Structure 1
Amino acid sequence: MVTKNLKYSEEELAIGIVFKMLRQAKGFSQREAAGKEISVPQISNFEHGKTILVTHHFLAVLNNINVDMFEFQNAYNQYLDSKDILLFSTKVSEAVMTQNIALLELLLKKVENALSFNPDNKKLKLDNIRIKSVLYFVNTSYTITDNELNFLTNYFYDLKEWGLYDIRLFGQCAQFIDILKLADLTSKMIAPMQTNCELHHIKLAVIQCVLNIINVFVNQKMFEPARRLIKYLEDNEIHEYFMFEKLTLIYNRANYSFQRGDREAAKIMKKCLEVLKFCDCSKTATQVARELHDWEIEVPNS
């Protein structure tokens, strides 16, 4: 139990509480967590809300219990009952796949309500745009205004470092962005000087975003930028861990060829559909089957 400490806020005290939860879950003692960086009493005071740690000590003791900041942030946000980046993205994605408009509208209403009390909050503005762009896939009455689009593109152009949130936001809003700006911003996102570009979850987010943007370019018959992005993914060799993304690249590459007049490419697209069905990816398979039907590609019922 943590005694209420008026010196620190609830959010500050939660850092020590969550650290203790993770330390115990990992099976580390306070002495092992403290290591050579700080003393055991300092760890104890930190976990019981009597003190907080300076940043370099906190990062060190996290490392001592084999927890990275990404994991800690997720646990911390869940403890405070706020929405972590991963949880938010998962909930939104599942709502889109199941066409759960009610859930998406609920998320939008919560963000809009928060914005009414804090209209200049940049994060809330971006969340509002993000949810509306996702809602558009299931209900085209939801659109992004010109002012919102300008705010969004200016935000992307001002970025010096593309994080997980930014990459996913970009991928989900890509269909609304001017095609030339989309190509320019995509080049900025995949620039090799990004500090975190080698992180596993960042790599995966970039791959998923680029795959979505390829689809946008192909649908708008912008074949040259689509070709460049296909080559970018081919050159970077999507790891076998990312089997779904590898399959999506094969599908997008075939779609690219099909849209350029190669009717034989439809055979590859149908094979991708068969793999999705075999792997029991029923929701994605339904979407692909619907696309193939729209393009008058005959698909077996089984």
Structure 2
Amino acid sequence: MDSYGKTFREIRKQKNLTLQYIAKDIMSVSMISKFERDESDVTLSRIIPLLNRMNVTLEEFLYTHNEFKKSEFREKLSLVIKAYHQSNVTIIRKIIEEEEEKFTKTEITDFRMNSLMFEAILSDLTGEPLAQESIDLVVNSLWSLEVWGEYEVTIYGNMIKVLNIESVILLSKEIFKKSKRYARLMSHRADIYGIIFNTIIVCLEKKKIEEATIFLSEVKNSNIPEKFIYERLLFKYLEGLLEITKGNIKNGYDLTDEVIRIFTFTESNSNVTIYTRYLNEFIQKRNSLRPE
């Protein structure tokens, strides 16, 4: 579907709205009619008020226009993640090659960043290290930006495991500031929490107790919305891991066991498996003894 006007008309018709109603105090009926017939364009400053009149967000409009598909970047990321869980190295390598080829042809940096992110995911699967030059490219690129949107947050979130601990701490300390502009977008905020939680886990694994404590405090001070039940539970789980790391074994287990119990009660079986296994691995690495 190439015509934005046709998409606009489709949504308007589905909502049983007349051109007269949509146009009132925004622009002429004839101009909207021409737009719907693909005879003229409408500027962004005009189309947003028109969409607001229909109670449709720009994101919903573009999603409809793209025939209810994710963006190409999101589609490829979904394929890579699926291949990762299936241990399908071939598919991931193919997608990396496609992004590299696009970068070679266009010299558009995003394609290079995409391929490096996919290489990082592949590295976690195969154990093959990512070249330091590639890691430095991503870190320097992210650090140079004043504002991080969904794209930059996604790149960083999937690169954390291949970065050294110093880079992770440095970038994660900046993330609330760099993404402040989009803080009210709930999906974006959830992504930020995911990155900070991963940062805390990395800090705990590297025995960076002070840094892990600081990041947990920042999350607590951010007032996790009540609707973010999963994030609130994971926050408590990480508090438990921190307590265990500090030597407060009983307090730590009380917190982590309560979170796993809630996952069990709500039949979140995959979460029960993931967090029980990780807790056991976490303890084994520290040679800690579980109290009776």
Structure 2 counterpart SS, 1:191: helix
Question: Which residue is 1:129 aligned to?
Answer: 116
RMSD over equivalenced CA pairs, Å? 2.9
Partner residue of 2:28? 39
Please list the CA deviations of residues 147-202 of structure 1 after superposition, one character each: whole Å capped at 9, or x if unmatched. Answer: 22111111111211111111122222122223233222223220288322222222
CA pair 293-179 structure 1, distance change in 2 beyond 3 A: closer
Q: Which residue of 2 aligns with 1:29?
A: 18
**Residues 73 and 84, structure 1, Cα contact 8 Å, conserved in 2:** no
Which residue does 2:209 correspond to in 1? 223
Q: 1:276 aligns with which of 224, 242, 263?
A: 263
Match of 2:278 in 1: 291
Give the whole-Å Cα distance in 2 for the aligned partners of 1:100 and 1:28: 48
- CA–CA distance in structure 1, aligned partners of residues 70 and 193 of structure 2: 30
2:227 maps to which residue? Answer: 241
Q: What is the correspondence of 1:57-76 to structure 2 with a 5 Å cutoff?
A: 57-76=46-65
Provide closer, same or farther for how the CA distance between residues 77 and 228 of structure 1 changes in structure 2, counting only shifts above 3 A: farther
Over the matched positions of the two proteins, sequence identity in percent amounts to 18
TM-score by length of 2: 0.84
**CA offsets 1:33-53 (integer angstroms, 9 cap, x no match):** 323211222112212221111
Shift of 1:234: 0.9
Structure richer in helix, relative to its length = 2
Q: After superposition, what is the alpha-carbon deviation per residue over 1:214-235, rounded to whole angstroms, capped at 9, x for unaligned?
A: 1121111111121111111111
Distance in structure 2 (CA, Å) of the matches to 1:133 and 1:16: 40
1:123, CA displacement in angstroms?
1.0
Task: After TM superposition, give the deviation of residue 274 of structure 1 in Å.
Answer: 2.6
Match of 2:149 in 1: 163
- Which residue type is aligned with residue 108 of structure 2? N
Q: 2:38 aligns with which of 49, 57, 79?
A: 49
Q: 1:59-208 to 2 correspondence within 5 Å? A: 59-78=48-67, 82-83=71-72, 85=74, 92-93=80-81, 96=84, 104-118=92-106, 120-141=107-128, 143-191=129-177, 194-208=180-194
The total of aligned residue pairs comes to 285
**Contact 2:103/2:109 (8 A) holds in 1:** no
In structure 2, C-alpha distance between the alignment counterparts of 1:32 and 1:97, rounded to whole Å? 50
Amino acid at match of 1:48: R
The code of the aligned residue for 1:117 comes to K
Supply the distance in 2 between the matched residues of 1:278 and 1:242 (Cα, whole angstroms). Answer: 18
Q: CA deviation at 1:103?
A: 5.3
**Superposed displacement of residue 25, structure 1:** 3.7
Counterpart of 1:6 in structure 2 is: none
Letter of the 1:202 counterpart: H
Contact 2:148 2:179 in 1 (8 A): no
Structure 1: where are the runs of 5+ without partners? 1-9
Aligned-pair distance for 1:287? 2.1
- Is 1:111–1:124's contact at 8 Å kept on the other side of the alignment? yes
| Closer, same or farther: CA 22–211 of 1 in aligned 2, 3 Å | farther
Residues 74 and 90 of structure 1: CA distance in aligned 2, closer, same or farther (over 3 Å): farther
> Does the aligned pair in 1 maintain the 2:76–2:95 contact within 8 Å?
no
Partner amino acid, structure 2, of 1:239: P
- Contact 1:292–1:298 under 8 Å retained in 2: no
Distance in 1 (alpha carbons) for counterparts of 2:289 and 2:273? 14
Question: Could you say if the C-alpha distance between residues 182 and 68 of structure 1 is closer, same or farther in structure 2, counting changes exceeding 3 Å?
Answer: same
Work out whether residues 101 and 135 of structure 1, in 8 Å CA contact, stay in contact via their aligned partners in 2: yes
TM-score (norm 1): 0.81
- SS of the residue 1:123 aligns to: helix
